[in-house]
A and B are shown apart, each in its own frame.
Chain A
Amino acid sequence: MTTTETTTTTTVAEVPARQRTSIGKFLVQGGTTIALLLLIVFFFAMRPDVFLTFTNVRNILFQVSILAIIAGAQTLVMVVGDFDLSLAATSSLAGAVAASLMLDGRPTWPAILAALVVGLLIGIANGALVAYLNLSAFVATLATMTSVTGLAYLVTEGTTLFNLPAGFNSLGQGRALNIPVPVYVAIGLGIILWALLRFTTTGRKWYAIGGNVEVSRLSGINVQRGRLLAFAAAGLIAAVAGILLAARLGSASAVQGSDNLLFSVAAVFLGMTVIRSGRANLVGTMVGVAIIGVMSNGLNILGVNSYVQQVVTGLIIIAAVTLSSVRTRER
């Protein structure tokens, strides 16, 4: 009996040892992170005088900060095995609500609070539809996205709301230690979400739900509440992103930031390839966000046509996800 256990342990221990020695498997397993490093090296080689300067790194961080927040929200939902198509629309509506209230003379902080409540309510609505009414996340959040976009048009009356208070705009345009405020918010929220997923019971339950709903239920996890919470948190975080975007631009419109939806999903998919389990994870998502940000900035600096940029972005996502699927098949 003892002998058998020893043998098994030895065999199990040998597998990762062999994997580490295989360059091919190393490339496959670390593909996304390696892709990020290669992109950085490539752009640095092309423009060593610009790419890794403090100013440009700050630009990249500034440009991806709002995407990072929305991608963080998307990660939560994808951890429980769903996804949320309404996040970008929710962020637009939240920004529009805050802007509209401030332009109506309401003080800044109550307006921000109202926008956060709007995001939270939309998240709860999505969660209720998916968890309690058993609608598919695709259908439920697609419908919500449609309605929320309509609401944003109603709030903005189809126009761009501007002339927002300077104090509000400083949330998106202000700097501390020469770093833009949204960067701090994105990093802070990222750490909170990472800790939530990694160290709390709630995070572990969410991973369990995303892994196998039925097993989770039989293990005593309240699956419905878990999914509801994930959607609610995502809605709230999307509202934070929308408020920051409105402050960043000094204005709010019904559809601003709409490209964050697809990029957030892409970032989470890219991030899923970073860890062995192939599941949504915060660190991986941030690697995905960094790839998108570095590529956009680097290609802009090189003067590459924006249409070509879009093609290249898609190809990199395909490559990363292909690597991930290869790895999954090998497991």
Chain B
Amino acid sequence: MRRSIGLGASVAVLTMVLAGCSSGDGGGGGGGGGGGSDDPFRVIAFTSGNQTPIGAWWVKAVEAKADELGWDLTMIQGDFDFQKMNPQVESAIGQGADVILDGYTDVAAIGSIVTAARDAEIPIFAMDAATEATDAFAVNITTDQQGIVDGTLEALTASLGGSLEGKNVMVIGHDPHPGIRMRAELALEDLEAAGATIAGGDVQKVKSPATGRTEALALVTDYLTANPNGLDAVWVGWDDAALGASQAITEAGSQAKVTGSDATSEAIAQIQSGSTFVATANQPWPEVLDTVIEEITTYQETGDLPSENYEAVDTTIVTAENASTITPSDKLG
């Protein structure tokens, strides 16, 4: 009898505990999501790119926004290590949240996070996390890759006398980065369509972003050694490697022109100095973050998710004419 009473009491206590755990808005969700609770709005933010200048800026900017808006923020920084980052995010999801915010982490690398978020019915808001629409995100706002290609090729064309017809152009890309991969492929197609000859016949691939500059430096140096005066231009998917290509061209005494993307302070300085580096693309990350935060705030207040789950915003092409007006991407923070 005593054992039965004890068992019954245990079941009652367990039931109450479980009921307590599942109170709120259900599943892994926190208390403030989807329209007007007094509980703090719980946000899990993560980025794998926190060791890049833009990633580091993003972490600080999101923390500042969270303070301003009174969010209960969990910030997870992945150091490009998905094996470390993904379980941390999944664990945070298990503890409950209203919204997940992904900064610069490709959807292909976070499949387990997407599944966990979907199971817990927590929407993921993202910036620069995919190059095309995906159901993984409530919204992903990134930059217009075709716009970057159009703008940089336009600047390249202008620097080469108005036409790419018959020009030898090397395209340097980096496949693991979806944005760089996509714009390198677009650039290749557009260059071929414009009648340019692609040096090496295909996109030249840099293996690691950490050594992008030295890899591009060696690649262009060796190409120019084997093909003296064999380059009219080098189109590069990001500035650090473009700076290596530019250095190789200068050292070889070539007149070839270079374009990059990212608008780093070093690239802008080279453009202003009138070197071989003629243009880069400035991606408006502060404005993109503001828009994403607005979407999250709308969801917090009304429970409404964005009507479109993908948006590609325009970029600014930086040339010698406007370089002095641009805030470099590595000086945002």
Contacts and interface: CB of A to CB of B under 8 A. Distances in A.
Taking residues whose C-beta sits less than 8 angstroms from the other chain, chain B's interface range is: 35 or more
Nearest to A303: B200
A301 B226 contact: yes
B251 A173 contact: yes
A50, A160, A249, A310 — most chain B CB neighbours (10 Å):
A160
A181 to B, nearest CB: 13
Contacts, number: 89
Taking residues whose C-beta sits less than 8 angstroms from the other chain, chain A's interface range is: 35 or more
B247 to A, nearest CB: 7
Contact of A162 (B55, B204, B225, B269): B269
B333 to A, nearest CB: 8
Nearest to A298: B222
B32 to A, nearest CB: 32
A50, A63, A158, A259 — most chain B CB neighbours (10 Å):
A158
Contacts of A50: 225-226
B168 to A, nearest CB: 13
Interface in B201-227: 201-202, 204-208, 210-211, 213-215, 217-219, 221-223, 225-226
A300 B330 contact: no
Chain B at the A interface: SS class: helix
Contacts of A253: 240
Contact of A256 (B205, B210, B265): B210
Nearest to B221: A59
B264 interface: yes
A274 interface: no
Given A153-B51, A160-B330, A59 B205 contact: no
B266 interface: yes
A58 B215 CA distance: 17
Interface in B53-90: 53, 55-56
A212 interface: no
Contacts of B266: 160, 162, 251
Nearest to B222: A300
B261 to A, nearest CB: 15
A249 B213 contact: yes
A301 B221 CA distance: 10
A307 interface: yes
Contact of A158 (B53, B214, B217, B269): B53
B322 interface: no
Interface in A26-65: 47, 50, 53, 55-56, 59, 63
A265 to B, nearest CB: 16
Interface string B177-207: 0000000000000000000000011101111
Contacts of A254: 51
Given A303-B201, A305-B205, A307-B207, A160 B264 contact: yes
Contact of A258 (B55, B211, B219): B211
A306 interface: yes
A256 B211 contact: yes
A189 to B, nearest CB: 20
Nearest to B207: A306
B250 to A, nearest CB: 10
Contacts of B247: 249-250
A257 B211 contact: yes
Interface string B8-42: 00000000000000000000000000000000000
A315 B328 CA distance: 42
Given A63-B218, A249-B247, A303-B200, A256 B223 contact: no
Contacts of A259: 208, 210-211, 214
Contact of B214 (A53, A173, A249, A300): A249
Interface string A287-307: 000000000110011010111
A246 B134 CA distance: 41
B91 interface: no
A159 B330 CA distance: 6
B222 A297 contact: yes
Nearest to B210: A255
Contacts of A306: 204-207, 215, 219
B218 A258 contact: no
B52 interface: yes
A157 B51 CA distance: 9
Contacts of A249: 213-214, 217, 243-244, 247
A325 interface: no
A147 interface: no
A322 interface: no
A65 to B, nearest CB: 12
Nearest to A163: B269
Interface string B233-265: 000000010011001000100000000000011
Contacts of B53: 158-160
10 contacts: A50-B225, A56-B225, A162-B265, A249-B244, A253-B240, A257-B214, A300-B222, A301-B222, A303-B201, A306-B215
Given A251-B243, A254-B51, A306-B207, 13 more contacts: A50-B225, A55-B225, A56-B222, A59-B221, A63-B218, A159-B53, A173-B251, A249-B243, A251-B266, A255-B51, A257-B211, A259-B214, A306-B215
